Chain A
Amino acid sequence: MAEKVGKPQKTHPGARRALTDVFPFGAAPLVILLLTLAAGAYLLFHPVRTSTADLTLWTFAAPHYEAYFEARNTFLKTRPGRSVDVQLVHGDAVTSRLRSAFWANTNVPDMVEVEITRAGSFFRGPAEDIGFVDLTPYLEKSGLMDSIVRTRLTPYSHRGRIYGLPHDVHPVMLAYRKDIFDELGIDASKLTTWDKFIEVGRRITRREGEEGTDAAHPPRYMINLSKKQAYSFEVLLFQRGGDYFDHQGRLTMDSDLALDTLRWYTRLIAGPQRIAADPDMFGQGWVTSVQDGYCLAFICPDWKSKSTELQIASMAGKMALMPLPAFEPGGRRTSTWGGTMLGITEKCPNKQLAWEFAKHLYFDPAELAERFRGTNILPPYRDAWENPAFHEPRPYWGGGSLPVTWVRTDPAEGHPVAGVWKAGNDGQRAVIEADANGLTVAGYHADGTDAWSGKGTLDAHGRLEATVFLASPRTDARGEPVNPLRRFVLKLTPAEGDKPAVLAGQMQWGQQLGTAYIGLADQVPPQHGSPFLEFAKGRMSKVVAACRTYYDRNGENGFEEFSRARLRAAAQEVRRQMQRNPF
């Protein structure tokens, strides 16, 4: 066979013959063999790089990953010679890879962030086999216990031990199209109960195929609620005080409260009186439903408010947040959706260092303030909430921003920004005074009357931030002040030669998003973890979808019976699984 190959034979007949004597299978197999040997040799001398860092942390959320990268650097500044490796791993991969790592007892990261629904599945089996460190003694020793929102420890606790630090509080509000609400004359502050909300919803909803819905009057729904999955249903169940499991891990998903909430929810999403559509809560479907005004409101936990700002940027200024309507007057105005824990694995050789890094990530007020601006996620550490970053007006939410340029006309001695500034074309002036507590900033109209005043800071990079209140804010139809708060973010260009100093940047106003979520944090209901939580959620999704289909077809006819039977059957499936578990 080899002899048939043309050219080489002509040029080096002797060499070829010698080769085929040693290797009689022909040229092609030889090439393959050589390639294999070369590749093998390469791999042998370039082994997969394994992390040699003192700590390895896995996180599944891209915003966390970016934030932790910075936080790691500040952490390492005070610990020379130490190293930390932060790795971004997909949410599903965290679960499966971590499970495999625990099984094989190899490549286990030192620290892992796990999503709330999945966390419980790692607390299965005998307590001594659980792969996470019991953090209870660490928390007690550090004195942090009293500053943490206690309900957030619940999902990560099992059999009296705390296996994870809570990353967040995740209070829930309703985000709504403020411009359309205003146009329709809906006053969000009056929608204090779900009854009132539904009443308005019935009035303004235009369903597909209904009289009055046409090209000029496209379909429109009051709220976006899932018809196929349980994630919006459970938010409302939690709001009423229901849950999938109780504190002892017993299944409660078929309680009377859950059944009642299920029926109430089905009537919102199905039948001729429905006020909810399901264009999806994520991705393209969700974005267009907000932009087109297809759904006027959606359930918005703190983390979702950031995805809204980023993914639906075109709606800046047109959106606003309101607390959830209560189930009864004076009742709970929030709920909770999602969560993340940080755990330290038993395999970690530097547990004390890991604990210090965990504290730095989760309980360092300066870190948390900066991260809140980037993620809108409210940390469960109360001491951090006093930072001004948590109370800034956010232009996206019912606000806006204007460019600002101030030119200094009368500098004060010895301070880069103190003095009198010409603040605008209309003759406004700004006066900045510096003292030991920081900066006092005040604005005056051309006639000398007060325009606004407040406090500010100037950092080492010449960035001036000030939060001020208007002296005479505009009022709305009800006489309530509208956006009395302003925030200046200005960059200083110092005086040079005859050029005066200039502060240029933006003035922003809008809802105080952080303040709003903080106001609801204490009402956030607990969620109980369980190894069977994800399974139970899957079963509940099935019930929600089935009830919706039934109600669309049959209305009230036999619905009470059907919904009870379906919920019972789903709970039975979960109990069957739980009974199989011998641990």
Chain B
Amino acid sequence: MATAKQRLRSGRAPYLFVLPFIVTFSIFGLYPIVKSLYLAFFVTAGPTSKTFAGLGNFTFLLSDPIFWKAARNTAVFALASVCLQLPLSLFLAVLLHERALRGRNAFRLAIFAPRLVGMVFVGVLFSLIFNARNGLLNVALEYFFGLPRTIEWLNQSSLIMPALILTALWMYVGFNMIYFLAALQAVDQTLYEAAMVDGANAWQRFWHVTLPGIKPVAVFVVVLSTIGSFQLFELPYIMLGNGPGPDDAGLTIVMYLYQNGFISGDLGYASTIGWTLAIGVLLLSLVQMRLSGTLKRGGGQ
């Protein structure tokens, strides 16, 4: 009996278990990926018409000012996400990790809660908050600082990106905080004790014990946030009224992809944009992991 069990465990059964995934992934994941790579070399229009364009789509993309504008916007958003969101998340995590803090579970829930709301709802909510005349933000700015209610957050090209970043901050800070909290809890307590015996102060303990301890998770969060930021679509789409906003200030790469593929009906060019994005994000993630040394240790933990 035991040998039969053994045989099953090491035999075909595991493959049987992953089979549903393999099948669905092949149909809904792999096939579209291959097909989109194929389409990226065609100019398409209408139901069945396509003409081979070779690298035409890619050369057009390289000289397409709208694409570059979208890429710039997305990069700015990603950079802000990583540089603002993550330190803030870590700060909150350290704060809420403190056992002495009263009601810390309530705080954790409150800070995490925005993530439970769908992106589209957040978009609708914040388009009201950023409304120039009656929005909560401008009303508050008038009440506390006497500013006139004329700051057009979503109408002025220079203010759109800050508005989007603020919204994303509200939504994701708590989510990333949870990752950091989990990491903090996994740091070996004896290391702190050893450091204290060696006479390390609070800052030194954070710098030399906590940070190295949570590094694998931090790298994971950075890579994930970067990838997530590059996929930005719903938030600006909803907040700016189904469009990119004035001067394309809220145009992201995925929104441009959507416009080309599903509004103008050029799936070929949309595929080109998609593949360029995928390659870009892949390279960026590799660079991030290389810089943080995760790759050398065999793909992180």
Contacts and interface: CB of A to CB of B under 8 A. Distances in A.
B1 interface: yes
Interface in A477-510: none
A438 interface: no
A208 B138 CA distance: 14
Interface residues of B, number: 46
Contacts of B152: 278
Interface in B141-169: 148-150, 152, 155-157
A44 B60 CA distance: 46
Contact of A124 (B45, B131, B259): B45
A121 B262 CA distance: 10
B297 interface: no
B9 interface: yes
B157 to A, nearest CB: 7
Contact of A129 (B46, B148, B149, B245): B46
B133 A122 contact: no
A294 B82 CA distance: 41
B301 interface: no
Interface string A282-298: 10110011000010000
Given A121-B264, A538-B243, A545-B246, A580 B60 contact: yes
A130 interface: yes
Given A118-B263, A538-B243, A288 B9 contact: no
B43 interface: yes
Interface in A488-545: 531-532, 534-535, 538, 541-542, 545
B150 to A, nearest CB: 5
Contact of B262 (A95, A280, A582): A95
Contact of B265 (A122, A209, A284, A545): A122
A21 B242 CA distance: 58
A489 to B, nearest CB: 37
A252 B20 CA distance: 55
Interface in B1-49: 1, 4-5, 8-9, 13, 17, 20, 43, 45-49
A31 to B, nearest CB: 14
A13 to B, nearest CB: 15
Contact of A126 (B46, B246, B262, B265): B46
B263 A531 contact: no
Contacts of B56: 580
Contacts of B262: 92, 95-96, 99
Interface in B234-292: 241-248, 259, 262-265, 267, 269
B65 interface: yes
Contacts of A583: 45-46, 49, 51
A472 interface: no
Interface string B59-96: 01000011000000000000000000000000000000
B139 interface: no
Interface in A567-583: 573, 577, 580-583
A285 B264 contact: no
A130 B46 contact: yes
Contact of B155 (A118, A227, A538): A227
A72 interface: no
B177 interface: no
A541 B47 CA distance: 29
B209 interface: no
B270 to A, nearest CB: 11
Contact of A534 (B8, B48, B263): B263
Interface string A553-567: 000000000000000
Given A279-B133, A545-B247, A531 B45 contact: yes
B92 to A, nearest CB: 32
Interface in A154-188: none
Contacts of A125: 45-49
Contacts of A21: 1, 4-5
A55 B17 CA distance: 43
B214 interface: no
Contact of B49 (A129, A279, A284, A532): A129
Contact of A102 (B8, B46, B65, B128): B46
A271 B30 CA distance: 55
A541 B131 contact: no
A348 interface: no
Nearest to B9: A24
B184 interface: no
B247 A546 contact: yes
B132 interface: yes
B134 interface: yes
A131 B264 contact: no
B45 A581 contact: yes
Nearest to A17: B1
A102 B155 CA distance: 36
B43 A549 contact: no
Contacts of B20: 36
Given A280-B131, A549-B156, A581-B45, 16 more contacts: A21-B5, A118-B263, A121-B265, A124-B265, A125-B48, A129-B46, A130-B47, A131-B47, A285-B133, A542-B247, A542-B248, A546-B246, A546-B247, A549-B246, A573-B65, A580-B56
Closest 5 CB pairs of A and B: A125-B46, A545-B246, A125-B49, A102-B47, A124-B45
27 contacts: A21-B1, A25-B13, A95-B263, A96-B262, A99-B262, A102-B46, A121-B265, A122-B46, A125-B47, A125-B49, A126-B49, A130-B47, A209-B148, A227-B155, A227-B246, A229-B243, A280-B131, A284-B128, A285-B132, A288-B133, A531-B265, A534-B263, A538-B243, A538-B244, A538-B259, A541-B246, A583-B51
